[in-house]
């Protein structure tokens, strides 16, 4: 490992990790395939030796078959663990992406808060409410004055007739 190289970013690290996991998985699968072929040959050889009646050789071959199957099971377990690690790594990368996104959203929201200045907005809203209340009162007074003036005109018109 070169101590002078720069630290890879998360994307590059994920890519490298995926590549290594895929390589390890392929190697394990190749080994499993080889052992399964060997198992088939061993089964055929066990059948041959049992037909000839050689009981000692058949027992030895059977023990080898059991060990071979155990080895295959261990390799399959290792392959599953490798895949689990790869999935976990992918999930960690996705989570870090969410964290980066949330960080950006937080920055945007704080910038908006600075621009909007909630205290100023609240003050503007209060002033608007006061002005609106004054305007409502003025409108109501004007309506009453107009209604009174119209009522007086109607009363004078009735009195003349």
How do residues 112-129 score in pLDDT, each as one tens digit? 877 877 788 888 899 999
| Beta-carbon contacts of residue 43 (< 8 Å; ≥ 6 apart) | 65
Count of other CB atoms within 10 angstroms of residue 14:
19
Tokens of 127: 């002033």
How do residues 40-56 score in pLDDT, each as one tens digit? 999 999 999 999 988 99
DSSP characters over 86-126: HHHHHHHHHHHHHHHHHHHHHHHHHHHHHHH-HHHHHHHHH
- pTM score over 0.75: no
pLDDT confidence of 161, banded at 50, 70, 90?
Answer: low
């Amino acid at each position: 490992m070169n101590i002078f190289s720069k630290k890879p970013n998360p994307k590059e690290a994920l890519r490298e990790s995926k590549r290594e996991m895929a390589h390890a998985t392929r190697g394990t699968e190749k080994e499993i395939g080889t052992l399964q072929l060997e198992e088939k040959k061993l089964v055929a050889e066990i059948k041959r030796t049992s037909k000839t009646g050689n009981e000692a050789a058949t027992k030895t071959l059977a023990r080898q078959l059991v060990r071979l199957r155990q080895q295959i099971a261990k390799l399959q377990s290792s392959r599953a663990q490798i895949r689990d690690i790869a999935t976990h790594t992918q999930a960690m990368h996705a989570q870090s992406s969410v964290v980066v996104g949330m960080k950006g959203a937080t920055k945007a929201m704080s910038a908006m808060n600075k621009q909007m200045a909630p205290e100023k907005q609240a003050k503007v809203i209060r002033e608007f409410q006061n002005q609106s209340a004054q305007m409502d009162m003025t409108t109501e007074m004007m309506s009453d004055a107009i209604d009174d003036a119209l009522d007086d005109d109607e009363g004078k018109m009735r009195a003349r007739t």
